[in-house]
Amino acid sequence: MGLNRRAWLRRAAGWGCAPLVAACSPPRPLGNPDPDAAPIARPVVDIGYRFLRPAEVAFVDAAVSRLIPADELGPGAAEAGVTVFIDRQLDGAYGKAVDWYMQAPFGHGSEQQGYQLPARPAELYRAAIRGIDDHCRGTFGNRVFARLDAHEQDALLHALEDGDSDVPAAHGKSFFKMLWQNTQEGYFADPMYGGNRGFAGWRLVGFPGPRYNYVAEIRQWGQPYGEPPVGVLGRDWRRRQPGMT
């Protein structure tokens, strides 16, 4: 009990005392504009990265390519834009844990008590990636994770998932869980968030996207639906937006 945020941040990756995400600010007064009331999420303009640094982009590209690889079934997570998705999520309310209860003290609880680290998601990514790459350099002849071969990467991801203490990265198990969750989110979320590019995730499984009306089709038991995927912003919204690719 009693581990405070600053101590955790120092311990996690030897950063000195400069947290990378703005320190905890009190929740906004209730009367302020409610971001949830915005009529529509702002679509991601996928040029460059806002939170991830180049070495972190390389790590996330490599890791999500192992979690959901490109193969004969279709694009993998990296090709579908999941790295951009994760970058924007970490740069936004999720990465900063705006909605989370982040008051001290931070105790070590049981599995049933859930996430108790003082790190917000963006902080956990930064610390964990640095820790994993440091470990890889020391163990694999000065190569970072992104430079390992696929078998080595898979073995390391399994070690993180299992909480293997041979990987002295900051809270590898919690990080793996978050990374895998975010990878699936990016692969299957509406493309306006930067992932699921070309509806890669939805095409893989056969989800036609959010549609309004299946009154006739619901009774056609066992028949394929057949219409191609469409997103909240339509099918070709990228072409209509200035600055979109």
Residues 27-86 that bind another protein (CB under 8 A): 27, 29-32, 34, 36-37, 39-41, 66-69, 71, 73, 76
Give the binding range for another protein (CB under 8 A) out of 4-12, 54-62, 141-149, 186-194. Answer: 186-194
Half-sphere exposure of 105 (CA within 13 A, CB side): 6
Told to check if 164 binds another protein by CB under 8 A, we report no
- Taking alpha carbons only, the member of 156, 140, 129 closest to residue 55 is 129
| CB-based contacts of 181-185 (< 8 A; 24+ apart in sequence) | 182/82, 182/85, 182/86, 182/89, 183/63, 183/64, 183/67, 183/68, 183/77, 183/82, 183/86, 184/68, 185/85, 185/89
Q: Which of 45, 204 has the CB closer to another protein? A: 204
Told to check if 125 binds another protein by CB under 8 A, we report no
Residue of 107, 138, 163, 228 interacting with another protein (CB under 8 A): 107
Residue of 99, 149, 164, 227 interacting with another protein (CB under 8 A): 99
CB 229 within 8 A of CB 203: yes
Told to check if 241 binds another protein by CB under 8 A, we report no
Told to check if 161 binds another protein by CB under 8 A, we report yes
Told to check if 3 binds another protein by CB under 8 A, we report no
